[in-house]
Amino acid sequence: MSQTISKEAISVMKKAINIICFVLLCFLLSSCDTVGNIFTEHYLPARGTWHGHIYVNELMGIQFDLPETWFVYTSEQIARWFYIPRTFSTESVIGSLSSYGNGVDAIDMRARDFFNDNNITIYSQALSTISNDPINELEYLYLSATHMYDDMGDIFINTEISEAPRQIGNINWYYMIHDIQGGFVSARFVSIQDGFLCSISIAILEGDVHDIEGIWGRFSEIEPQFQNTEGIVPAMMDIPSLVYHGSWDGHVYTNPSLNLKFTIPADYNITTNSELAAVWGVPTSLYTDGLISRELWVEAIPNGNLLPVMRTYNSSGSSVVLFVRRKPLGMREFSLNNQLRLYMEQNEEHWLGRGANVQTYVTSSVAEISGHEWVMGRIEISRKSDGLERIVDTFITVVDNHVWTMQIESNNEYELQEILSMFSQTPEL
């Protein structure tokens, strides 16, 4: 990462923010009542539950196999993401009456890819809050599409509503698919069950209908071993303890979470926490008192769930940036080498987008920094237009269920080794 944040990076951040806003608005618009504002008290349905990486919803008659790199949101995180105050119980049934006259009654499950904004949301809405008159799935989809085009028609390239349903077991799911500007595609599958409109929403950041099909293919009829069995509803208590983001004392950075000390040269500048927060679009309060608050694990960070906790750089463009991500709830074991490969692919796309020639090396090389083993990979960059030649090395490790990524941008191998020599283990250990 260079001294200034590139236009491409800012564009990606803005795109992610727009997508989050779009998905939220889709919920609000597509779940609006279609006949009038009807306020009817009703009980919410039983929650879906998790059995390892399998999500099961008895009301909808479905199970879903969570992809390897996806993580699950807790009930509290779902409520904060939706920005509407509501109470979620960690029990299998929500016992409180719903008083929401329109809008989604219960977002039952939300999951997202650890490495991008591809996501899925499963939710339900009582038919009594939609219409005084009988309504079927296709009528609902056409009315929902009308609402969305009235409010956001300029962002849609194409919308298709299928009158032939997909089947899971004996249940029919009708659906519509949107192609949206910027390479974004989304789909919504709906089915009416026991007086509720059940919805499955799939959003793909960059992809096409084949990606939608891949996710839909992970749904199936509930297997016998999961029927009428007790699972879990993810709750905030499952989130690991808070993580230290470290602190500066002059030109010495200390991070107690990593037992790491980093002494930078006198000619290096330090990016303050306020500057990091401003560039990444997160509240400065995330860094309060040396700890990263739980708000980090909500949908607060536009660039995935990756947060910069330290950045230093010099006038020649060399820099060191340290990021942290929590290894999320529900995510299966995913090797550091695979994480490194995906991270390097993102870096490669970034530099290619800036007109550079790129040579990528993803190896099983291991570096020891502050007592931890980090897997590492390298991108060699050259650009004829301005004579740029640079190496970017990426290091990844996992400590206490948190994924730490360090990116070092330097001019040559000698400078890289000089930077690495500045790291040491804190004297307490």
Please name each of the domains of the chain with its CATH number. 12-237 (3.40.1000.10), 239-425 (3.40.1000.10)
Check residue 242 and give its pLDDT: 67
Task: Dump pLDDT digits (tens) for 12-27.
Answer: 434 444 444 455 445 4
Q: Nearest CA to 265 among 310, 322, 319?
A: 319
Task: Dump pLDDT digits (tens) for 222-255.
Answer: 999 998 888 888 765 555 556 788 899 999 999 9
pLDDT of 186 higher than 80: yes
pLDDT of 278 higher than 80: yes
Give 415's pLDDT tier (boundaries 50, 70, 90).
very high
Check residue 83 and give its pLDDT: 45
Q: What is the average pLDDT across 407-418?
A: 92
Task: Give 249: exposed, middle or buried? Use CB within 10 Å, 0-12, 13-18, 19+.
Answer: exposed
Lowest mean pLDDT among 173-177, 289-293, 320-324, 379-383: 289-293
CA gap 96, 93 in Å, rounded: 9
* C-alpha 187, offset from chain centre: 18
Check residue 92 and give its pLDDT: 28
Whole-angstrom CA distances from 272 to 207, 265, 277, 310, 361 are 36, 17, 9, 8, 31
Give 300's pLDDT tier (boundaries 50, 70, 90).
very low
Check residue 94 and give its pLDDT: 32
Q: Bigger pLDDT: 278 or 239?
A: 278
The answer to whether 310 touches 246, Cβ cutoff 8 Å, is: yes
Place of tokens 């990979």: 377
Check residue 3 and give its pLDDT: 36
Task: Write down how long the chain is.
Answer: 429
pLDDT of 55 higher than 70: yes
Check residue 64 and give its pLDDT: 97
Check residue 357 and give its pLDDT: 85
Whole-angstrom CA distances from 27 to 41, 107, 143, 201, 304 are 20, 10, 13, 9, 21
Check residue 103 and give its pLDDT: 40
For residues 217, 157, 6 and 294, what is the CA-based torsion angle, rounded to 10 degrees? -50
Give 409's pLDDT tier (boundaries 50, 70, 90).
very high
The answer to whether 41 touches 97, Cβ cutoff 8 Å, is: yes
Task: Dump pLDDT digits (tens) for 307-333.
Answer: 889 999 999 889 999 998 777 777 777
pLDDT of 10 higher than 60: no
pLDDT of 184 higher than 70: yes
Q: Bigger pLDDT: 147 or 369?
A: 369
